[in-house]
């Protein structure tokens, strides 16, 4: 024992390796914090000056006229873009919530053995489909289907983007919701069954209320995903500046606007600043949504 | 007992060290090879070429093909927009600036400050075609009708306003397909058709010329515009009327100037081109170079027969 203790004290290669790994793990651990602060500082630095000086805040939130490259009268109204993002995300949630809760309940409470394992893997695989592929499905397949089915002039609209986004958000929501259902102790189920409750009564009256916080956070994370998704929405929404009054109207999302316009915008111009202002807004909104989701989950653990 | 894990750890380190050694050796090899390659080509000259995104695909094709003609000249092509190209020409960091618009007076003045005159070379033409779904009965459209459809104060909202009925199009609503607001095509359409006024909001703004054609192909009610290069057999291109008869878009009508929405594509040099740059520009304007631009879907500067 004494010899090995000496060996440990010695500053040999193992000691240096240990040190190096320790530093590496520490850097890895704090990198998330450094990155998030870095990103926040970056987008505010790029966008804040414009947002606080040139930008007409009232116009930004109340005007639907987004015309940053106009030669006669550039205006930066984000109302239509906000309406676009909200309407698409809302539709997506209407699609995704029943799907993902149903899938989660089935996987967690009913499916057993092989079925369960296969389903879990498939749901995770669904989450791995690249968003541009979803967008392509929206652009080339859903467009035609919607035109035929609803007899509307164009299939790139809120419904198309909402359905695509709902299907994209559903896997992650299913996984989180399933974890929440699994976290409900079996004692609860057994106690309820011992009282003579049926399977449905156990699920609806006992398991779902007990897992409520986890389910709410699953939905919130889905909403966050919807707000932040870019490529699929860009391709499926029609990318049209428009305040929708039905799900068959084309819209344009905040994220899609940044993606489509930033690449060809002169660095430091008003247009550039305006796009970063949209970025700040998106960042703040998704940050709040994710933070709320996190706090809600922590809520369960404290109890 | 405790020596066991330490031993393992040490052994682990050893293998890792060896791996590092191998990686290092590999890196050295690559570096040496890289250097060797560069040393061997010290006689090569490099032409820097930058600017318009409209031209970037053609410029790249020219650069690649020129390798077979003149292997000792390398051409570095970058996009970034016409303005970026002019800025680089002013700063003297490029030999040739690509542009899909003419040079501005301020840019001319800036280049003259360097003691040279900017020289304009027209290398091809870009014709904007109007695209309609094949079921649309319209065969011709006028510039003022286009302005009425796309312009901010335009009042044309349905196909019936244009005196036609599109079979299969519900409400006869015109679905306007446009481009994102910083594309060169968008800017040129605004200049040539809308007389610099703004676009009507609510158009579907596609992120690429090909997307415009794809959407029009799949949407009965739609109308779109893009470079002639992107046309395919599933869409219809009406002739465009600007007061002097209706002209169908083609390389021919773009070259002779009769098609109203065609623009020249430029390459600019600071001062008369010399040496490798001159040879390159001459080659671009030769039949071989002009066939490449035609292949990419733009119109050549004169009629050429290509194999």
Nearest Cα residue in chain B from A231: B207
Contact assessment for residue B186 and residue B81, using Cβ atoms and an 8 Å cutoff: no
Count how many domains chain A has: 2
Distance from CA of A70 to the nearest CA of B (A): 6
Confirm or reject CATH 3.40.190.10 for domain B8-125+265-295, answering yes or no.
yes
The region, left, alpha or beta by phi > 0 then psi within -120 to 50, assigned to residue A130 is beta
Under DSSP, the state recorded for B126 is E
The region, left, alpha or beta by phi > 0 then psi within -120 to 50, assigned to residue B172 is left
> Do A117 and A29 fall within a single domain?
no
Measured distance CA(B88)–CA(B97) in Å, rounded: 7
- Domain CATH number, residue A259: 1.10.3720.10
> Which domain range does residue A30 map to?
2-53
Is position A68 within any domain?
Answer: no
SS3 of B143-183 = HHHHHHHHECCCCCCEHHHHCCCCCCCHHHECEEEEECCCC
> Do A84 and A8 fall within a single domain?
no
pTM above 0.90, yes or no: no
Is A239's CB within 8 Å of B83's CB?
no
The CATH architecture to which B127-262 belongs is 3-Layer(aba) Sandwich (3.40)
Measured distance CA(B260)–CA(B257) in Å, rounded: 7
- The yes-or-no verdict on residue B150 having pLDDT over 50 is yes
Residue A122 — very low, low, confident or very high, per pLDDT cuts 50/70/90? very high
Is position A110 within any domain?
Answer: yes
Is position A104 within any domain?
Answer: yes
**Residue whose C-alpha is closest to residue B300's, from B268, B253, B258:** B253
**Residue whose C-alpha is closest to residue A157's, from A51, A213, A49, A240:** A240
- For B197, the closest of A69, A72, A143 (CB atoms) is A72
Is B198's CB within 8 Å of A67's CB?
yes
Size of interface A-B (CB pairs under 8 A): 110
> Do A84 and A221 fall within a single domain?
yes
Is position A69 within any domain?
Answer: no
Strand order across the B246-247 sheet: B140-142, B239-241, B246-247
> Do A143 and A44 fall within a single domain?
no
What residues form DSSP beta bridges with B75? Answer: B47
Q: Quick one: pLDDT at residue B16?
A: 40
Contact assessment for residue A3 and residue B3, using Cβ atoms and an 8 Å cutoff: yes
Measured distance CA(A282)–CA(A301) in Å, rounded: 29
Measured distance CA(B268)–CA(B266) in Å, rounded: 6
Is position A64 within any domain?
Answer: no
End-to-end CA distance of chain A: 46
pLDDT in tens, A27-58: 999 999 999 899 989 888 888 888 888 888 88
Is A139's CB within 8 Å of B214's CB?
yes
Nearest Cα residue in chain A from B52: A264
pLDDT in tens, A221-273: 999 988 989 989 988 998 889 899 999 999 999 999 998 888 767 777 788 88
> Which of the two residues, A197 and A54, has the higher pLDDT score?
A197
> Do A106 and A230 fall within a single domain?
yes
A78 — phi, psi (to 5°)? Answer: -105, 5
Choosing from A53, A68, A87, the residue where a domain stops is A53
A2 touches chain B (CB under 8 A): no
**Residue whose C-alpha is closest to residue B86's, from B286, B269, B221, B279:** B269
ipTM above 0.90, yes or no: no
Q: Quick one: pLDDT at residue A184?
A: 92
Distance of CA B153 to the CA centre of its chain: 29
Domain boundaries, chain B: 8-125+265-295, 127-262
pLDDT in tens, B5-38: 444 333 434 344 444 444 444 444 444 444 433 3
B-chain residues within 8 Å CB-CB of A64?
A: 201
Under DSSP, the state recorded for B133 is -
Is position A73 within any domain?
Answer: no
Contact assessment for residue B21 and residue B87, using Cβ atoms and an 8 Å cutoff: no
> Do A298 and A155 fall within a single domain?
yes
> Do A146 and A278 fall within a single domain?
yes
Is position A229 within any domain?
Answer: yes
A156 touches chain B (CB under 8 A): yes
């Amino acid at each position: 024992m004494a010899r090995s203790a000496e060996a440990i004290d010695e500053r040999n290669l193992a000691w240096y390796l240990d040190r190096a790994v320790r530093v590496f793990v520490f850097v890895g651990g704090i990198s998330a914090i450094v990155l998030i602060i870095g990103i926040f500082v970056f987008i505010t630095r790029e966008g804040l000056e414009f947002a606080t000086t040139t930008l007409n805040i009232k116009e930004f939130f109340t005007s639907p006229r987004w015309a940053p490259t106009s030669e006669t009268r550039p205006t930066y109204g984000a109302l239509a873009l906000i309406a676009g993002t909200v309407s698409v995300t809302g539709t997506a949630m209407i699609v995704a919530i029943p799907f993902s809760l149903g899938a989660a309940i089935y996987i967690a409470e009913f499916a057993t053995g092989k079925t369960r394992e296969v389903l879990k893997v498939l749901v995770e695989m669904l989450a791995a489909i690249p968003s541009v592929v979803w967008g392509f499905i929206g652009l080339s397949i859903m467009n035609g289907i919607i035109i035929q089915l609803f007899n509307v002039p164009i299939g790139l609209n809120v419904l198309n983007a909402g359905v695509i986004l709902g299907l994209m958000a559903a896997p992650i929501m299913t996984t989180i919701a399933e974890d929440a259902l699994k976290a409900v102790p079996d004692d609860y189920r057994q106690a309820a069954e011992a009282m003579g409750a049926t399977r449905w009564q156990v699920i609806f009256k006992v398991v779902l209320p007990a897992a409520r916080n986890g389910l709410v956070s699953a939905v919130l994370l889905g909403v966050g995903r919807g707000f932040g998704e870019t490529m699929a929405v860009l391709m499926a929404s029609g990318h049209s500046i428009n305040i929708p009054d039905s799900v068959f109207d084309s819209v344009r999302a905040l994220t899609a606007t940044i993606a489509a316009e930033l690449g060809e915008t002169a660095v430091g111009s008003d247009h550039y600043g305006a796009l970063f202002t949209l970025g700040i807004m998106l960042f703040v909104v998704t940050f709040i949504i994710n933070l709320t989701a996190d706090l809600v989950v922590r809520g369960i653990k404290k109890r | 007992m405790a020596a066991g894990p330490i031993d393992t750890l040490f052994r682990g380190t050893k293998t890792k060290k060896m791996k590092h050694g191998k990686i290092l050796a590999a890196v050295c090899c690559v570096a040496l090879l890289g250097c060797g390659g560069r040393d061997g080509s010290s006689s090569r000259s490099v032409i820097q070429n930058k600017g318009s995104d409209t031209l970037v695909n053609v410029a790249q094709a020219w650069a690649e093909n020129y390798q077979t003609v003149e292997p000792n000249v390398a051409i570095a092509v970058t996009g970034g927009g016409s303005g970026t190209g002019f800025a680089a020409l002013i700063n003297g960091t490029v030999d040739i600036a690509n542009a899909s618009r003419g040079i501005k007076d301020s840019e001319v003045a800036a280049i003259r400050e360097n003691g040279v005159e900017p020289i304009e070379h027209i290398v091809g033409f870009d014709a904007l075609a109007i695209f309609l779904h094949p079921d649309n009965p319209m065969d011709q459209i006028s510039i003022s009708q286009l302005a009425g459809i796309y312009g901010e104060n335009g009042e044309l909202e349905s196909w019936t306003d244009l005196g036609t009925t599109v079979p299969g199009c519900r409400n006869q609503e015109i679905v306007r397909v446009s481009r994102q607001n910083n594309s060169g095509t968008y800017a040129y359409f605004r200049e040539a058709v809308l007389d610099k006024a703004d676009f009507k909001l609510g158009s579907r703004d596609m992120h690429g010329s090909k997307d415009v054609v794809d959407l029009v192909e799949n949407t009965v009610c739609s109308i779109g515009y893009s470079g002639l290069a992107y046309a395919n057999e599933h869409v219809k291109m009406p002739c465009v009327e600007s007061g002097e008869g209706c002209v169908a878009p083609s390389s021919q009508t773009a070259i002779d100037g009769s098609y109203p929405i065609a623009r020249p594509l430029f390459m600019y040099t600071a001062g008369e081109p010399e040496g490798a740059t001159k040879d390159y520009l001459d080659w671009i304007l030769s039949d071989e170079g002009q066939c490449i631009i035609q292949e990419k879907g733009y119109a050549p500067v004169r009629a050429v027969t290509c194999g």
